[in-house]
Chain A
C-alpha cells in the first residue's frame, strides 16, 4: 500500500517536472517558430538561442503582485488557475511514453484523460465568471460552448478506436498498433479494422484537440483582437502564468493522445528501426504534432464562433458517427 502511494507521489512529481519544462520551453519554441515564420529572430538575447528566456519570464511572473479586481469573487478567482493546471498535470500520470515508462497504468486511462479534460473547461468558466469583467464573461461562455461542441466528436472518435482495441487501457491501444506503420490506426491497412476513412478520422481528432486546447484557429476564448485576452484578462502574475502553462500542457496532452490513438505510440514506423528506443519515437511524433500546431497558429486567421459551432455540429459530429458505424461494420466483416 505504502509503495503504491510512494509510486503515485513520485509519478506526480515527475509529471509536474515534465509539464513545467515542456510548458516553459514550448513557449520558447513557439516564439522561435513564430520568428522563423515571420522572418524575424524571435527571443535571442538571454542565453544561447534565447534559451534562458523561459526562466527569466517565469521569475518575472513570480515577482509580480497578484491583483484581485474589486468586486471579484476572491475564492473562485484564485482557485481558477489552479483548477486549470491540475487536470492537465493529472492526465500525464496515465500516459505511456514507452513500454516501460508509464507513471501509473490504469485500465480506464482514456476515460480518465477525457474526464480531466472536461473539468478543465470548468476552470475557464470560473475564471471568466469570477473576474467580473464583461470581456472575460463573454469569453467564458464562448469557451464552454466550444468545449461542449468539440468534446462530442472527439469522444465518438475515441470510441471508434476503443471499439477496435476493446480496451480503455492506453498500453493496450498502443500494443495493438504494432509493428509497422501500416498497422497504426491512422491508416490501418494491416490493422484490425482496415477502415480507409481513418486518415479523415485522425484529422478530425486533431482539429478537435486544437479546439479543445483553445488554440488557433479556434482560439475564440482569448481572441485578442475582440475580447482582448478573454478569460484571463484580469489575471497577472503567476495566475496568468498558470493559465499559460496549462494551455501548453494541454497541447502536449492532446499531442500525446493523438499519438497514442492514431500514430502507434512508441512503435517505430518500420520494424527494422526498433533498435531506437520507443520513447524517442513517441516524443518525436508528439513534437512533430506540436510543431504542426504552432505552424497552424501563425498561418491561419481565426474562425468565428458560429463557424466553429457549425463545423462541429454539422460536419464533425455526423462524420464521426458515420465512421463509428462503418468501423463497427468492418470489424464484423473482417
Chain B
C-alpha cells in the first residue's frame, strides 16, 4: 500500500507549483491549496533568483552599473537600460543628440517586438500548442541578428552610454530593419490565422480570469494587463519621454478584462511598435551619436530623481537619490512584473488549475525581473 497523501481538514491538499515547473517559466513558486482541480487559495513565493541589483546600484559608479540593467529582464533588456540612462541623464543634466535618441527608440521598439514574440510563443505553449513558439522564435531571430551587428550582443545589451550610444547604426542595419517590417506584418497575419482564430484557443481564453479595473489599479498593474482591462495608460503617451511625442502611434486598449484581451493587446502592440520603427527610420536625423563634451565622471547634484519608461512588461521606474557622489545614495527599481504578478493570488481563487496557469501565462512574468 502506498502512503496516503496528506489532506487538510476540509479534504484540500497543498500543491507546490514550482520553483521548477514548466508553467512558471523561471524560478517562481506558487503554493496552491487545492480542492481537487480547483484552487482554494494560492500564494506566490518569490526571491529564488534575487541578485541585489538595487544594492549593486548603490555600490557601483553609474557607468559600472549600466550592464546590470539588461540582466534584470533578459527578454526586454533595452527598455530597462533606457529607463536608467534617461534618469541619470536627467539628474546629471547631460544633453543627448537627437540621432542617438532616435536610435534608442528604434532599439527599444525592436526589443519590445522580440519580447512580445517570445511571450506569444511561450503563452501558446502554456496552452499546449508547441509549434507557434518555433515560428515566433524564427521572427525574433531576425531582430536579434540585426541588433547583434550593431550592439555586439544578442540578449543582455549594454548599448546605451550616458549622453548617447556606444556605436552608430549603418546602412546595413537600416536596410535589414526595413526588410523586417513587412515580413513581421506577414507573420502577424499568419499568427492570426493559426492561433487567434483557433476555436480551442479562443474558448480557453474568453472569459478566463476577469480582472476588473479596480483590481488592476489596486495592485498597480500596468502594460497589457491594465490595458486589457480598459485602463488607457501607457507611459509613452501619459508621461512622454525621449522622442516618443514625435511619432504617430496608438495605444491598444481592450475592455473585455479577460486573458484574450491581454493577448490581443500585446499582439496589437507589435503592430504599433512596427509603426514607430518605420517612422523613426524615415525621420532619422544625421549628426553625432555622442555629445562633444560627454562627462567622463558622472556626479549628479544631490537630489531625488525619478524616470518612468514603458518597457515590454509595463511601467518601469528608476528612482535615484543622489548625495552628489560618484555612486547613488539609493537606487530603487520599480519592476512592473512585481505588481502584475501579485494579481495572481487574489484572482486565481476558485479557478481550475489549468485556467489559472493560462492566466499566469497571460500576465507575461519574467521572474528575474520580479526578484531583481
A residues neighboring B (CB under 8 Å): 34, 37-40, 71-73, 76-77, 129-132, 134-135, 137-138, 141-142, 216-217, 219, 223-226, 228, 298-307
Contact = CB atoms under 8 A, between A and B. Distances in A.
A40 B134 contact: yes
Contact of A305 (B22, B37, B127): B37
A138 B13 CA distance: 11
B2 A73 contact: yes
Contacts of A76: 2
B352 A301 contact: no
Interface of B: 1-3, 5, 13, 15, 21-23, 34, 36-37, 124-131, 134-135, 138, 194-195, 198, 200-201, 203-204, 352-355, 357
A217 B134 contact: no
A189 B200 CA distance: 33
Contact of B126 (A73, A225, A304): A225
Nearest to B124: A301
B347 to A, nearest CB: 17
A38 B134 contact: yes
B218 to A, nearest CB: 27
Contacts of A129: 2
Given A38-B134, A71-B2, A137-B5, A304 B129 contact: no
Contact of B2 (A37, A132, A303): A132
A71 B134 CA distance: 40
A304 B352 contact: yes
Interface centre among A73, A228, A299, A304 (most CB of B within 10 A): A304
B190 to A, nearest CB: 12
Contacts of A225: 22-23, 125-128, 357
A138 B15 CA distance: 11
B353 A226 contact: yes
B127 to A, nearest CB: 4
Which label, helix, strand, loop or mixed, suits the secondary structure of the B interface?
Answer: helix
16 contacts: A38-B135, A71-B3, A72-B2, A73-B1, A129-B2, A134-B15, A138-B36, A223-B128, A223-B354, A225-B125, A226-B353, A226-B354, A298-B131, A301-B198, A301-B204, A304-B204
A266 B1 CA distance: 48
A142 B354 CA distance: 12
A14 to B, nearest CB: 35
A307 B203 contact: yes
B40 to A, nearest CB: 14
Contacts of B5: 132, 134, 137
A322 to B, nearest CB: 22
Nearest to A132: B2
B37 A138 contact: yes
A306 B200 CA distance: 12
A301 B357 contact: no
A228 B198 CA distance: 24
Contact of A302 (B2, B128, B194, B195): B128
Contacts of B131: 34, 37-38, 298-299
Contacts of A131: 2
Given A76-B2, A226-B354, A300-B129, 10 more contacts: A39-B135, A39-B138, A73-B2, A134-B13, A225-B125, A298-B130, A300-B198, A304-B203, A304-B204, A304-B352
B127 A302 contact: yes
Contacts of A298: 130-131
B21 A305 contact: no
Contact of A304 (B3, B138, B355): B355
Contacts of B36: 138, 141
A130 B125 CA distance: 29
Nearest to A138: B37
A135 to B, nearest CB: 8
B200 A34 contact: no
A301 B134 contact: no
A38 B352 contact: no
Nearest to B354: A226
Given A39-B134, A73-B2, A226-B357, A299 B37 contact: no
A298 B125 CA distance: 11
